Amino acid sequence: MSNSAEPGIWDGPWYRVHTEQFEAAFLSSAGEDLEAVDNVDVFVELKDGSRWSATILTLVQIEILMNRWTTSGEALGGRYFWCSDGLIVRNPGISNMTRILTGLRENGELTQILQRLEDE
């Protein structure tokens, strides 16, 4: 798997990372430790201009949410987790997530896993 991502830059609320294959825009919180991010929306634009989206969560973050929901009553008291565009990863961090997106693109799986956004 390629590690050819450039360091990202902040663009308003977005943290943008450019790779040889795509640009990923992560909607992270300002001041958040980017290597601790464990729940984030990402928009990916491929070199062909197509745009894709996902919500990337770690296994730990899903457990935290489900435990919280046991008291709030959401998701039948935390008995299930559902996310229409979810991508579950083992480890946190924007750099880890970028490497995973790169690997998915290299394996031809990115367009099967992420959701395509309508062209403007």
- pTM, two decimal places: 0.89
DSSP per-residue letters across 89-101: ESS--HHHHHHHH
Q: How many domains does the chain have?
A: 1
List, for residues 33-55, the tens digit of each pLDDT value.
Answer: 999 999 999 999 999 999 999 99
Backbone φ, ψ for residue 118 (5° rounding): -65, 145
Q: Where are the alpha helices (DSSP H) in the chain?
A: 59-72, 74-78, 94-106, 110-113
Domain of 95?
9-55+85-116
The verdict on residue 35 lying in a domain is yes
List, for residues 54-113, the tens digit of each pLDDT value.
Answer: 999 999 999 999 999 999 999 999 999 999 899 999 999 999 999 999 999 999 999 999
The verdict on residue 108 lying in a domain is yes
Read off the amino acid at residue 103.
G
The verdict on residue 90 lying in a domain is yes
